[in-house]
Amino acid sequence: MSFFDDIQNLIAQARQELQAARDPQALETWRIRYLGLKGAVKSAMQKLKDVPKADKPAAGKAANELKQILQQAFDSALAAFASVARPRVLAGVDVTLPGSRPRIGHAHVLSQTIDQICEIFGRMGFTVAYGPEVEDERHNFEALNIPAHHPARDVLDNFYIDERTMLRSQTSTVQIRVMESQQPPVRIIAPGRVYRPDTVDATHSFMFHQVEGLYVDEGVSMADLKTALDQFCKAYFGPDVRTRFRPSFFPFTEPSAEVDIEFHYDDGRKAWIELGGCGMVDPNVLEAVGYDSERYTGYAFGLGIERMVMRKHAIPDIRLLFESDVRFLHQF
């Protein structure tokens, strides 16, 4: 059998097998067998060296036509498969329309608020400090001028792990740790989780977030404290917000105050809402960390972050912040 007969037989065989291909996988198998690097066309090209010299021009032309014929047959079969498959894949889809924008996640509203608080106080010169959530009694109570008989230390009002270890009930523990590690001036804020065994309802939770503020230096006064908190409230709630300070008592500050903001309801009502406690750092606290209370003064404040979020966004129930309901969370 001559070289030319082999070419014709190969074309007939290839066409017959291509007609039998019923799926894309079979079509790809056919392409590899005939048009691949080690396929039948390649083998036919290699046999040209055995063709008599006089027949080589005609044989070369026949080999090139073999490749063209099989390639065209493959391209036609591939196009036929694509035209059949596309309606199934794209049924009911208008490919000329813009694509659907995927839903992209974002930070939780509490995380957003903490970032905003840190940014606002950062512009005032405060740095951010963190401390452990599992604390000892010294940092949670004793160094904060809370004596052993004080009701705040009751085992029913705290999460004790053992007799001397507990989940911190306030972020004031961080101010003690910072003051123990450096000398004045100190100007820090400390956001974080705190734990108290409160009954969960619309306004209470056994875990919530606070931000503690502390500024200690020579000549710090109550006027500095009022200015800092007033500036913060205007930056976070808006320039028209009003603040007021009411006398209060805390073991670790003297004098002490509660800071309120005037809250405007949608129906036009106004009310004063407590934001947190504040005051001048008690000299006993300064002495507990080795500071000279005759030389240095300072102020401290503690603000409830959930309380700020709920007031700013008119959220009626604190439990919504922890239920992971995306219908609620995507609004922020």
What pLDDT does residue 207 have? Answer: 94
Instruction: Please check the confidence at residue 4 and state whether its pLDDT lies above 80.
Output: no
State the greatest distance between any 2 C-alpha atoms of the chain, in Å, as a whole number: 117
Residue 307 confidence (pLDDT): 87
- Average pLDDT of the chain is 87
pTM to 2 decimals?
Answer: 0.67
Q: In the prediction, which pLDDT does 83 show? A: 65
pLDDT tens per residue across span 97-138? 887 788 788 899 999 999 999 999 999 999 999 999 999 999
- Quickly state the pLDDT bin for 259 (edges 50, 70, 90): very high
Could you tell me which CATH class the domain 109-329 is placed in? alpha beta
Spans of all domains in the chain: 3-89, 109-329
Map residue 251 onto helix, strand or coil: coil
Question: Can you tell me the mean pLDDT for 248-269?
Answer: 86
What are 260's strand-pairing partners? 244, 274
Q: Which two tokens stand for residue 310?
A: 């709920």
Contact 7, 44 (CB under 8 A): yes
Contact predicate 105/69, CB 8 Å:
no
At residue 267, the 3 state secondary structure works out as coil
Q: What is the residue type of 38?
A: K
pLDDT of residue 281: 95
The 10s digit of each residue's pLDDT in 26-62 is: 888 888 888 888 888 888 888 777 778 788 788 778 8
Nearest-angstrom CA–CA distance, 109 and 306: 10
Determine the straight-line distance between the first and last CA of the chain, rounded to whole angstroms: 81
Q: How many angstroms separate the CA atoms of 107 and 167, rounded?
A: 26
In terms of pLDDT, which residue wins out, 33 or 168? 168
Element (DSSP H or E) covering residue 224: helix 222-237
Task: Give 172-222 pLDDT, tens digit per residue.
Answer: 999 999 999 999 999 999 999 999 999 898 888 999 999 999 999 999 999
Q: Are the C-beta atoms of 267 and 258 separated by less than 8 Å?
A: no
